[in-house]
Amino acid sequence: MEDCIFCKIIKGEIPAKKVYEDDELLVIHDVAPGAPCHVLLLPKKHMRNIMKADPDAVKYIMGKVGDIARTLGVDESGFRVVINTGIDGGQSVEHLHFHLLGGAKLGWPPC
């Protein structure tokens, strides 16, 4: 999708603070963090949301979560992975992305 902000970040058209990158995934720091550690895992292939996602891409990304958590130093203390979907689910960018949050005790419920 041409006007998708995450696609522009993935293409390097918009700068971002990168944590990890490979051929299928880009991980960046969230610009408005909701926790001391808050990164976004962005599949490089544009998919609107989890309902439209390629299951193999989701499997690949979830397989990287542990490595990313270790890189960020939240693997031992704990973290949360969130996928917002749709307006009521809090999705603000229509490009599938995973939030990895940690670095503090996270509350529940989220709203």
CATH of the domain at 96: 3.30.428.10
Residue 74 included in any domain: yes
Catalytic site residue from 38, 46, 95, 97 = 97
Residue 109 included in any domain: no
> What pTM was estimated for this model as a whole?
0.94
Predicted confidence (pLDDT) at residue 44 exceeds the cutoff of 70: yes
Residue 44 included in any domain: yes
Kindly state the tokens that stand for 85: 């979907």
Residue 34 included in any domain: yes
Residue 110 included in any domain: no
Domain containing 83 equals 5-102
Q: Per-residue pLDDT tens for 8-22? A: 999 999 999 999 999
Looking at the structure of the chain, the number of domains it has is: 1
Q: DSSP letter for 110, please.
A: -
Residue 51 included in any domain: yes
Residue 76 included in any domain: yes
Residue 91 included in any domain: yes
Alpha carbon distances (Å) from 34 to 59, 70, 78, 104: 25, 19, 15, 10
Q: Per-residue pLDDT tens for 53-67? A: 999 999 999 999 999
46 is catalytic: no
